[in-house]
Amino acid sequence: MKIHKLCLYTSDIPRQYSFYKDLLGMEIICYEEDHFEIQCGFSILRFEYREQYEPTHFAFHIPDEQEQEALNWLQTIVPVLQYNDQYIIDFSNWNAKSVYFYDKDRNIVEFISRRNFRKPELGVFSAESVIGIAEIGLATRNIKEIFKPLNVEVDLHKYDGDYEHFCAIGEDSGLLIVVNSANKEWFPTNDQANPSDFVLNFEHEKRNFQLKFEKENLNISE
């Protein structure tokens, strides 16, 4: 599953734009009054204006074994989130390590370094090191009902977890992080996981899909 484009929502376009462009130094490829788009390696991250929105979680791929370099870089820019007093979180069962921070909308943003995903071209880490979008969070009260169409229509499979609390759906290249909003919070902050609308364009097994999650309803089209 390769994520080509992710659209999220914000009530403050200028503030989010300044965060990603001026603080993180990411490449802006489109800016209008009601939206902007960021080139993130092979992916595009889009923010559209909406008066009401809910924060969510999403992740960027970074090169293999560059989590320490990413942490060093982030700590000069933004507060880095901790879990059990650790800045770098080791997901040994996923063969990955991650660093987390908030953007200006309190989206929980993750840099995830998967072993053997891609070697760094340079030792120095910057916004240009981002490889692409790795994950998007989806909060729901019925994980199984979300999984069913993804499995039947797209042939995505469970990567980790269960249908009661948390289920990662997809593969190393791209994941939907589905949590039960009734009994699971966002990691690593324990922020309330409320359903957050988004639009996702992705490729899987040489087929292109668009997934819309809006008002807790999932719609998939090719």
Going from N- to C-terminal start, the domains of the chain cover 2-221
Mean pLDDT value of segment 104-116: 94
Give the fold, CATH level 3, of 2-221. 2,3-Dihydroxybiphenyl 1,2-Dioxygenase; domain 1 (3.10.180)
Residue 120 predicted with pLDDT over 90: no
| DSSP 8-state secondary structure symbol assigned to residue 41 | T
SS3 60: strand
Give the pLDDT band (50/70/90) at residue 124: confident
Note if the pTM is more than 0.85: yes
Q: What is the pLDDT of residue 123?
A: 73
Q: Per residue in 135-151, pLDDT tens?
A: 999 999 999 999 999 99
Radius of gyration over every alpha carbon of the chain, rounded to an integer in angstroms? 16
Contact 68, 58 (CB under 8 A): no
Mean pLDDT value of segment 59-72: 96
Calculate the CA dihedral of residues 71, 75, 77, 78 and round it to 10 degrees.
100
